[in-house]
Structure 1
Amino acid sequence: MNDSASPSPSHGLRLLAIALIAWLEFLQNGLLNFASSQIMGGVGAGPEEFSQAAMAYALCAVMALFNHQWCVERFGSRRHLQASILLFGLGALLAGTASSPAGFIAGRAVQGLGGAAFFTAARLEVAQISPAKRGLGLVVFGQALLLGSALGPLLGGWLLQSHGWRALCLGILPLLPPAWWAASLLPLRPPARRPAHYPTGVFLCLLAAAFLLQWLIQQTPYRLFAHPQSLWLIAAAALGSFLAFRATHRRQASDRRRWRLLRRPSYRIGLLGYSCCYLLVSANSYILPMLTMQALGYDLPNSGLLLSVSYFAGLVFSLLYARLLLGKRPPSLRQTLVAACGLLAAYGWLMSGLEGNAERWRVAAILLLNGGFMSLFIMAVAQGTFRRIAPAAFGHAYQTKNIVRQVSVSAGVALASVFMQARNALHYTRLAERFSWNSPQFVDTLHVLRQQLPDLSDTQRLGVLAGELAKQSALLSCLEFFRLECWIALALAMSLLAWRAAD
């Protein structure tokens, strides 16, 4: 399998190949985030174990991303990408056939080892396109990511209803042969004559730092009040491992000079912006299915259709923004970022005002704002982060950016799951205080149910009321999350307005 043997494909085929590689990870994660509750029920997992699966995926992805350049230089990027596709498929098979939380976590870990390569490989391939045609390549790359995210919930609703939760993992397998073909089509680079060298100590220090950081993120909400001293120990160990990694890498790694080119304030601030965006987007993707299915009572296909609205709207917003950038007076980065935060604030405020009988068209209209935030914010951050990065350091810059993405996505899922768990418990307890024969409201409600449901016994009617109790507590928790998201958006907007260097 010679990486340089095949002739260069046409520009159109090259763009198609980039899209087929780029969208896989986003499609799979969109499917799983949409059906988190069903997956937890299928494997007998709780919210903590589901967040551990996200942590395992992110940890393995961080390891794979750190070694991305090493693998490319040693094996050739085509072999590396095709091996990643095989690992991704193996992980999907393990997760889709799991019968326990441990099996599902192991499958997601294997998927993380493979899936981490797709985003980086596709973006680096765009960077190899000639400058005259690179703009179209960036548009195709971004649209593929949004399309994968949009089809996740859309297909997820249909797959869940027709074939159950296992199809969400196994359903990705038919898409891997086209990705394999795309990998063989791209004019990727052969192995380097002198590949980068990472001593064992460097890798072990990074592995320890990444694991401890992910464990800290995942455990903080659970141990913050009960065992805070253990969190301080984990944080200290993570910091010590990271400092040891930096010291060892600076002294011994053969590619350390490439990383020095990334010491720019704009790049570091850009990584912070990426982290904020991905954390909010992943938390939002975890909460929205709970809102539509548990709190509002929509069925699976309608919930999937609603959740895909944001990403389809993102496709439109990204094209409009690209059009503005080509105009005579393109918006500045600060203007774009503030506008994106305004869309997020409006989205959070409107979502926090929903009621249990909210109509689907209203929810869909509000979700358009979320799509606008995602597209505008991430595109503007990407502009500011990479516009001054030297070509020699671009690969390392994108590796680091994707490491930040994986950590942020994992943190978003972990924090959102614990937020919902804590708020649900609080609201359920408060609402249950009225669930008593001593409450006139409870007695009146039960009397109404006797009239509306005469064929049911009082025990069955109590079950109906208990279901409504769980629905109301889920709704209140979701509304609190969106209210918090609104305040976060306003804080981001105020910070950007105060930061004059954003332009």
Structure 2
Amino acid sequence: MSAPSSLTIPLPPQASRQVRGLLAMISAITCVEFLETGMVTFAAASIMGGLDLGAEAFAFAFTVYGVAAIFMLYKHQWMVERLGYRNFILGSLAVFALGALLCASADGLGQFAAGRALQGASGATFFTAGRLQMNRLPESSRFGGLLVFVGTLLGAVALSPLAAAGLIQLAGWRALFWAVLPLCALVALVAGPRLSRETTPPEARSEEHWGWLLGLAVALFALQYALQAAQFALFEAPGRVFAVGAASVAALTVFAVRQWKRERPLINYRGLFEPRYMAGLLFYFCGYFLMGLSGFLLPILFLHGLQLDMLHGAAILSASMACSLIGALSHAAMARQHARPRVFMLTGLALVALSCLGFGRWAGAGDWHLLLAPSLLVGLSIPFFVGPVAMGTFVHIAPAVFSHAYQVKNIIRQLGLSLAVTAGTLLLQWRYARHLDPQHAGMDWAARLLHGQPGLPAHAEALALASGDVFNLCAAGVLILMGVVAAQRVFR
């Protein structure tokens, strides 16, 4: 980015106060969903134990969360046009808090899943809204706004394992959700006065028939269901899983084609059909897949494979994620002086591959000290791949469709994270089964054992070895991606 930062151009006192207020608002909005999602992901085993849920039941709660989030990403601009950002954000905070209240007081799957659905629908607002609020900053302060935005979301992710472990130690798993209530109130106090009340005139608003939206919701649920069911039933009922997945993709394609033909669509796909943006979405998907896969594997490896205690494992994971913050801020600073996206992307991927090979080499050694360097390196390296993508994807997108472009990008994020968990689970089941019993036919038995916590030392050792195998496979995939990045001519 070529614009100088707000630190180098003095602003009038009133303008300076306004910028600081906007930065505080962006930070407050951005942190909520990332902190809560990180805590829930880390504490999955504790929540399952507290509610007496099996792995499939808990996966269902994640499914409804993802469906609600993607559905509301489709509806983001539609809601803003009618409510304005102030009412939309404050309403979303209230719904998010209500979802937390339902989860905190739940005694079974039904209420917990309902609470997570509310949190998914409302939490999807915050990431997109925080990014779009940066457009209200003066041009000279945009770089500072970028640092605040990235620093807040990665800082919240880094804090989440330690926060979850501490809250569970102090007051049990329900504290993860009770703690959200004062956080939402604080964010409302900080952000509310600074959010715009502006709405869009009725004649300029996007339109959509609710019948089609109901079909969209069903298709999204079917897609998320197929991704989750693949973790448990792919080898028992592959036809059903693939049929549901294919039908959902077909339905979503029909919806997209219909949107393409509308004059005022929910998402203006015509305005987004631009080569740089399309390439950016592909690389975004790969980046979020890598984030999701490492975020899925590391807790399993440290907490169950190496059987570290919760606080110890949380400290390592938080340190890894803190390195992501360092990597992102370092890339942002260096990219202003040396705008070479492909060099940064290849450097980041090379470091990711190196860290994955380190996990593959030492995961089965039984010594967590050997895995500290790969853990810190994988956190540090991914932002060097994703950062250039974030800076370059939206360069040629018209301001009129920028909001739509960011909505689609966040839908890609949700799908990338979901697919990473599914792929990681299947690969882990495969390698886990082979390490436990190479002669056993099939993997469904290992899947059931995997989704329960390994109890015997042999199970933990096999799980650690399987995690290392999956990291080796990830390294191979990253090397292929490096070839694609080196050959492409869009991000140069």
The answer to whether structure 1 residue 477 and structure 2 residue 485 are counterparts is no
What does 1:391-406 correspond to in 2, within 5 Å? 391-406=399-414
In the alignment, does 2:491 pair up with 1:502?
yes
2:272 partner SS: coil
Provide closer, same or farther for how the CA distance between residues 425 and 97 of structure 1 changes in structure 2, counting only shifts above 3 A. Answer: farther
- 1:286 partnered with 2:296: yes
How far apart, in 1, do the equivalents of 2:181 and 2:34 lie?
A: 14
Segment drifting more, 83-92 vs 290-299: 290-299
Deviation at 1:340, TM superposition (A): 1.0
2-side partners of 1:272 and 1:111: how far apart? 27
Q: 2:74 touches 2:267 (CA, 8 Å); kept in 1?
A: no
**CA distance, structure 2, for counterparts of residue 151 and residue 56 of structure 1:** 25
Counterpart in the other structure of 1:65 = 73
Deviation at 1:410, TM superposition (A): 2.3
SS at match of 1:352: helix
Partner of 1:168: 176
User: Counterpart of 1:303?
Assistant: 313
Alpha-carbon separation, structure 1, partners of 2:245 and 2:51 = 31
Instruction: Measure, in 2, the Cα distance between the counterparts of 1:159 and 1:91.
Output: 18
TM-superposed CA distance for 1:36, in Å, is 1.9
TM-score under structure 1 length normalisation: 0.86
The one of 467, 480, 483 equivalent to 1:491 is: 480
Aligned-pair Cα RMSD in Å: 2.4
Letter of the 1:495 counterpart? V
Q: Pick from 319, 322, 331 the counterpart of residue 329 of structure 2.
A: 319
Tell me which moved more, 144-153 or 314-323.
314-323
Identity of matched residues, %:
33
- Counting only pairs closer than 5 Å after superposition, residues 352-501 of structure 1 correspond to structure 2 as 352-355=360-363, 360-429=368-437, 467-501=456-490
SS in 2 for 1:500: coil
| Maintained 8 Å contact 1:14/1:185 | no
Q: Secondary structure at the match of 1:67?
A: helix
Query: Match for 1:100: what amino acid?
Result: G
Give the Cα–Cα distance (whole angstroms) in 1 for the partners of residues 472 and 103 of structure 2. 34
Distance in 2 (alpha carbons) for counterparts of 1:245 and 1:431:
46
Cα distance in 1, alignment partners of residues 439 and 25 from structure 2: 53
Aligned to 2:10: none
The one-letter amino acid of 1:305's match is A
Classify 1:61/1:244 alpha carbon distance in 2 versus 1 (closer, same or farther; 3 Å).
Answer: same
Partners of 1:29 and 1:496 lie apart in 2 by 30
Counterpart for residue 4 of structure 2: none
CA separation of 1:142 and 1:291: change in aligned 2, threshold 3 A: same
| Paired residues of 1:55 and 1:215 also in contact (CA < 8 A) | yes
Change (3 A) 1:159 1:219: same
Given the alignment of the two structures, is residue 224 of structure 1 paired with residue 234 of structure 2, yes or no? Answer: yes
Give the Cα separation in 2 of the matches to 1:66 and 1:273. 21
Long gaps (5+) in structure 1? 1-6, 433-464
CA distance in 2: counterparts of 1:131 and 1:362, whole angstroms = 46
Q: 2:382 and 2:61 mapped to 1: Cα distance? A: 25
Question: TM-score with structure 2 length normalisation?
Answer: 0.88
Q: Deviations over 1:306-338 (max 9, x none)?
A: 0011221122222221221222xx141111111
Given residue 318 of structure 1, which amino acid in structure 2 is its aligned partner?
A: A
Q: Which shows bigger deviation, 186-195 or 128-137? A: 186-195
- The equivalent residue for 1:55 is 63
In structure 2, the CA distance between the partners of 1:81 and 1:467, relative to structure 1 (3 Å rule), is same
The CA deviation string for residues 233-268 of structure 1, in whole angstroms up to 9 with x for no partner, is 223422331233134324446247943211112111
User: In the alignment, which residue of structure 1 is the partner of 2:115?
Assistant: 107
SS at match of 2:384: helix
SS, match of residue 307 in structure 2? coil
Which has the higher mean CA deviation after the structures are superposed, 248-257 or 488-497?
Answer: 248-257
Deviation per residue, 1:259-293 (Å, 9 max, x gap): 32111121112112111221221222122112112
* C-alpha deviation, 1:213, in angstroms: 1.7
Alpha-carbon offset, residue 221 of structure 1: 4.0
Q: Distance in 2 between matches of 1:420 and 1:44?
A: 24
Q: State whether residues 98 and 104 of structure 1, in contact with CA within 8 Å, keep that contact through their aligned partners in structure 2.
A: yes
Contact between 1:325 and 1:331, CA under 8 Å: does it hold in 2? yes
- Cα 1:431–1:107 change in 2 (3 A) is farther
Report the AA paired with residue 499 of structure 1: Q
Equivalent in 276, 291, 305 of residue 266 of structure 1: 276
Structure-2 separation of matches of 1:413 and 1:50: 14
State whether residues 279 and 490 of structure 2, in contact with CA within 8 Å, keep that contact through their aligned partners in structure 1. no
Distance 2:57 2:343 in 1: 41
CA offset at residue 496 of structure 1? 1.2
Kept in 1: contact 2:277–2:394 (CA 8 A): yes
Mark the structure with the bigger radius of gyration: 1
Deviation, structure 1 residue 371: 1.5
Contact 1:57 1:108 in 2 (8 A): yes
1:155 Cα deviation after fit: 1.1
1:153-205, Cα deviation, whole Å (9 max, x unpaired) = 11122122222222222222221111111331324242222232212233133
Q: Which residue of 2 aligns with 1:79?
A: 87
CA contact (8 A) 1:58 1:406 kept: yes
CA distance in 1, matches of 2:433, 2:51: 22
Read off the aligned partner of 2:412 and give its amino acid letter: V
Change (3 A) 1:122 1:430: same
TM-superposed CA distance for 1:55, in Å, is: 1.7
- For 2:444, the equivalent position in structure 1 comes to none
- Aligned twin of 1:462: none
Does structure 1 retain, via aligned residues, the 8 Å contact 2:363–2:467?
no
User: What stretches of structure 2 of length at least 5 have no aligned partner?
Assistant: 1-13, 441-453
Q: Residues 310 and 371 of structure 1 are in contact (CA less than 8 Å); yes or no, is this contact kept in structure 2? A: yes
Q: Give the 3 Å change call, closer, same or farther, for CA 15–354 of structure 1 in structure 2.
A: same
